[in-house]
Amino acid sequence: MYTMKYFFSILFILSFIYLNGQTTQSNEPFAVQFSGVVVTQDESTGEAIPLPYTNIYVKGTSRGTVSGLDGFFSIVALRGDTIKFTFVGYKPVEYVIPDTLTSHFYSVYQIMTQDDVLLPETVIYPWPRKQYFKQELLTMDISDELKRQAEENLAEKLIKEMIKDVPFDGKEAVNLELNKIANEAVYTGQIKPMRIFDVMAWRKFIKAWKRGDFKRKKK
């Protein structure tokens, strides 16, 4: 009888130690190597494609990372942490690492979906407030002098002179070069046709001659 009494006493003590150890272990920090792949759906094919440069961070902390070109990521977190995935133009996603993990490695296949954002209409005024715009509009000078100045500034001759003096920007220069290459490619491998009988070319030539485009400019 004493043997059975000692046996149950020892069994009770061992069970208490085991349960106490399990509780202590579950409360201790448990690091997890959290990794996976972030993907999205291709609109044209409907297939899953990697989503690079997705922001991935542990919510409530300053620890984070970004997904690579193949969508892969890896970050160290704890059991029960909330991992947040964000990307411009996509709906944010939160993922909670299970607090019942027994392994130090955990991986997921995270899918991101596009988000439609409708921005409110924005009206830009040249004045800080609408009332200033109203005041300036009511006091605006609409005399014939302003009309005459506007017509002079928009004169065809003046605009052409300004075009000659204003240099091309990068975009215009590239477009001119591309158009030149495209025109040359049309007649690749053959002789370009003579435009001596082109009526439109003669029309442009006569107009340029009347304007004086071929006159020598005095220095």
Q: Is the pLDDT of residue 155 over 90?
A: no
Look at residue 19 and tell me whether its pLDDT is greater than 50.
no
Please count the residues of the chain: 219
pLDDT tens-place string over residues 99-120: 888 888 999 999 999 887 777 8
Query: How confident is the model over 59-93, as pLDDT tens digits?
Result: 988 888 999 889 999 999 998 899 999 998 899 99
DSSP H helices, the chain, are: 2-27, 130-138, 144-153, 156-165, 170-186, 199-211
From the list 98, 119, 100, the residue with the least C-alpha distance to 108 is: 98
Q: Which of 61, 86, 65 is nearest to 74 (CA)?
A: 65
pLDDT at 9 (0 to 100): 54
Q: What is the largest CA-CA distance in the chain?
A: 131
Geometric angle at alpha carbon 73, from 72 and 76, rounded to 5°: 155
* Exposure on the CB side of residue 78, measured as CA atoms within 13 A: 11
Q: How many CB atoms lie within 10 A of CB 216?
A: 6
- Which tokens go with 87? 């990307």
Q: Which residue has the tokens 């409708």?
A: 118
Q: Structural domains in the chain?
A: 2-112 (2.60.40.1120), 130-211 (no CATH)
State the first-to-last Cα distance of the chain, in angstroms, to the nearest integer.
Answer: 129
Residue type, 54: T
